[in-house]
Amino acid sequence: MSDIVMVTGSTSGIGKAIAELLAKNGFRVIVTGRRKERIEELVDELKLKHNCSITGLSFDITNKDEVYDAIDSLPEEWRNIDILINNAGLASGLDPIYEGDLNDWEIMIDTNIKGLLYISRKVTKGMIERQKGQIINIGSIAGREVYPSGNVYNATKHAVDAITKAMRIDLLKYKIRVSQVAPGLVKTEFSEVRFHGDTERAEQVYQGYEPLQAIDIAEAVHFVITRPEHVNINDMLIMPTAQANSYNIDKKIEELW
């Protein structure tokens, strides 16, 4: 029987691309997210397209009780989660620290750090019992460098980097592989969320160069989880060709005549 993979934050962007690619390649996939309607639509869509084995869970990853209750509600045949992909995460706001919105700070900390910890703690219990499993945390270039007005988002992604390294040490004796895939600029809903629905400002982030697409990251994740059991990809940093680091991007803006 094929491995069971849980993908958090599956309703859009990178998470959706990962879920579809893995479903297409024969994995049994659990998609999760807050938006129940989107989860149900995604399950129906992927079943129709790929005739795959897939189920969905709707919960708020920032609420520990919802996380635990949702996973406990899985039917017996879905409970032995072999691979956890911690994709759920977001940026909210882009303000200097002295003007930061406290609500933005809290949602980033609650989602990017605490949510990842809640679900990892729950799922790794079974992996430890079976002495087998794999965790892939979706990090960011923002977890390696800081950039102007990125403050709290940078901090949360630096935390993901540290947690990934600590997980790898703590789970080593249980034969559980732990990896991080850290993208640079990827064209998804990310910037629209960051700018609180300002689609025009979000679109400007991706103009003048070719950003990564969600499928690029999905393919990297697929590569990581299909290595032989004696191989672990500790870390993978993926950038568009036009991006050197967090703030050096080669944008070619055509002049208007």
Q: Are strands 83-86 and 4-7 parallel, antiparallel or unpaired?
A: parallel
Q: Which contacts of 245-248 are long-range, i.e. CB under 8 A and separated by 24 or more positions?
A: 245/141, 245/145, 246/141, 246/142, 246/144, 246/145, 246/146, 246/147, 246/150, 246/184, 247/147, 247/148
Task: Give me the amino acid identity at 67.
Answer: V
From 98, 118, 147, 153, active-site residue: 153
Displacement of CA 96 from its chain's centroid (Å):
25
Q: In Å, how far are 160, 165, 245 from 119, measured between CA atoms?
A: 13, 17, 30
Element (H, E) at 126: helix 116-130
Identify whether 209 is a catalytic site residue: no
In angstroms, the CA 52 to CA 44 distance is 10
Active site residues: 153
